[in-house]
Amino acid sequence: MQEGGPGDGFAVLDEVTGHTLAEEALGASEGRCQILFDVVPQPMLVYRLDTLRFIAVNNAAVRHYGYSRREFLAMTINDLCLPDDARRSRAEPSSSDPAGPRGLPTTCRHRQKDGTPIDVTLSGVSLIFNGRLARVIAVNDITERKRTEEALRESEEKWRSLVENAPNFIFTIDREGRILFFNRTPPGIDHRAVIGSSVYDYIVPRFRESVRATFERAFRTGKPDSYEVLGAGPHGTNAWYQSNVSALTREGRVVALLVIATDITERKRAEEDLRQLSSRLLRSQDEERRGIARELHDATSQTLAALAINLGVVNESAEGLRPEAREALGDSFRLLETCTREIRTMSYLLHPPMLEELSLPGALHWYTRGFTERSGTQVDLQMPPDLGDVPGDVALTIYRIVQESLANVYRHSGSRSATIRLSREPGEIVLTVADRGRGIPPGVLQRNLGKQRSESSPGVGITGMRERVRQLGGRLEIRSGIRGTTVTAVLPLGQEGARSARSSG
């Protein structure tokens, strides 16, 4: 009874039932794993470690590589490798290395069924599969990422080569003016010493504040800007640079400035040579005018005076002349008077002796009065009674600007009136000539201010006016619109003129 008792029978039944339930649970778990294995979107491969032959692949692997499941099961992991990549990526069979095949890199190159190469990264885990060591690997296709990285690398290399070999100086600075990057440095300056130093150390002192203002404006607005500067080189080897400034932003905030500087020293030298040539031409022109005016006054006028004496002698015997001869004699006197007046006017226009004999106010009064008589244009001349002494070169420049401005009023503006204001400030004198005419067309004004001359344009003398003012270190401004044109010239008087201005004030 004890061996065949009911207790022993229940014990055997319980053991059998437990095995059955465990097998069913294992089968259900394997079924769920199989479903997950098949539906996961990432390619998954399972191969035996002893033969390297695939024993399972998921649907994503079939789609990604293009091989059918049957074709996969006839292949090894090494069959996916490209021929030129097989040596470094080939796996070796192993039956005792549960950590995975020796020599299989994390990143390698595979090929799809149609031969298309792909870059992949492999990650996996070793396990026992049907009593054999196997490895499950997940495949991550990084082909597009590699292409992007390669394109970025090539772009960076091209950019770096372009920047490093550019004829310009290219650098970046932070808000404090520290140099963060410099593609190359001028001869004699150590590149290593430049990085981290202040950009203002390489600028001639008188330009530093204006450049600082440009940088601060660019940081504040984020808008492109430009400036010309005299750069300070080693041992006094200064050079001129035209610099363009651009903002470098991060998350909408300006974090640095990119500066591209072009050496314009040769251009500046050429411009200076041209200015000196222009100055010499203007001086020669003034000397030629003075010579012609003197010749007209001293020679031609004297000849006309002698002619007047001779005609006077003839006139004493006019009673004995025929009527037509007496009439011709009268016409000769009138022609002589007209010729003398015109010669005197031309002489004064070429070089007004009143600038030397009287003063600038006297010469301006004389000229504007004669201009009104000749043209019918009313001129309102306004200037203080105590204008004081004006240096000769400044007085001549003011006189020539008044001449040219009034000539343009008469020839082009259509205005029947003009206003001239002359005022004296500490250290400078200011001339303003304004009319109420039709104004200068914007394109014509721009061309004249841009140093282009046109004989048919209202502003033939603008280039000359600007050059005269520039020679004296002054500034010229021309504003024109539908309400007329205003020419403003500001001329420095120098130390002597400044003292005279202070004493007269």
Q: Are residues 428 and 493 in the same domain?
A: yes
Q: What are phi and psi of 188, to 5 degrees?
A: 95, -5
Residues 201 and 99 in one domain: no
- 399-430 as b/e, with b when 16 or more CB fall inside 10 Å? bbbbbbbbebbbebbebeebbbebebeeebbe
Q: Please identify, among 309, 324, 351, the residue that sits at the C-terminal boundary of a domain.
A: 351
Question: Of 221, 237, 263, which residue constitutes the final position of a domain?
Answer: 263
Regarding whether 172 and 109 lie in a shared domain, the answer is: no
3-state SS class at 349: helix
Tell me: do 96 and 197 sit in the same domain: no
Name the residue type at position 393: D
Residues 245 and 368 in one domain: no
Q: Which residue would you say has higher pLDDT here, 258 or 6?
A: 258
For the entire predicted model, the pTM comes to 0.46
Same domain for 27 and 109: yes
* Residues 151-172 pLDDT 10s: 888 777 776 766 667 778 889 9
5 is a domain residue: no
Domain with residue 402: its CATH number is: 3.30.565.10
Most confident of 21-30, 313-322, 492-501: 313-322
- Residue 492's nearest CA partner among 478, 476, 467, 473 is 473
Buried b (16+ CB within 10 A) or exposed e, 178-201: ebeebbbbeeeeeeeebeeeebbe
Residue 274 maps to a domain: no
Q: Are residues 105 and 135 in the same domain?
A: yes
Give the CATH number for residue 66.
Answer: 3.30.450.20
Q: Are 445 and 492 in the same domain?
A: yes
Please report which residue ranges of 108-207 form alpha helices under DSSP H: 143-165, 191-194
The yes-or-no verdict on residue 26 having pLDDT over 70 is: no
Say if 8 falls within a structural domain: no
- Position 3 in a domain: no
Q: In this model, does residue 444 exceed pLDDT 80?
A: no
CB 367 within 8 A of CB 399: yes
Last residue of a domain, one of 203, 233, 263: 263
pLDDT in tens, 52-65: 999 999 999 999 99
**Within a 10 A sphere around the Cβ of 435, how many other Cβ atoms?**
27
Kindly state whether residue 441 falls inside one of the protein's structural domains. Answer: yes
Instruction: Identify whether 157 is part of a domain.
Output: no
Residue 268 falls within a domain, yes or no?
A: no
Q: Are residues 443 and 391 in the same domain?
A: yes
The answer on 175 and 137 residing in a single domain is no
Does residue 353 register a pLDDT over 70? no
Q: What pLDDT, in 10s, does the model give residues 368-412?
A: 888 898 888 999 999 998 888 888 888 888 988 998 888 888 888
Nearest to 413 by CA among 305, 486, 485: 485
- Residues 347 and 364 occupy one common structural domain: no
Query: Range of 298's domain?
Result: 279-351
pLDDT per position as a tens digit, 252-292: 899 999 999 988 989 888 887 877 777 777 778 777 777 77
Lowest mean pLDDT among 64-68, 129-133, 496-500: 496-500
One-letter amino acid for residue 339 of the chain: C
Provide the number of structural domains found in the chain: 4
Report angle CA 433, 436, 437 to the nearest 5 degrees: 105
Based on the fold, state whether residues 294 and 338 are members of the same structural domain.
yes
Please write the tens of the pLDDT for every residue from 171-206: 999 999 999 988 877 766 777 788 899 999 999 999
In a domain, 29, yes or no: yes
Burial of 243 (0-12, 13-18, 19+ CB in 10 A): buried
- Looking at the chain, the whole-number percentage of residues with pLDDT higher than 70 is 77
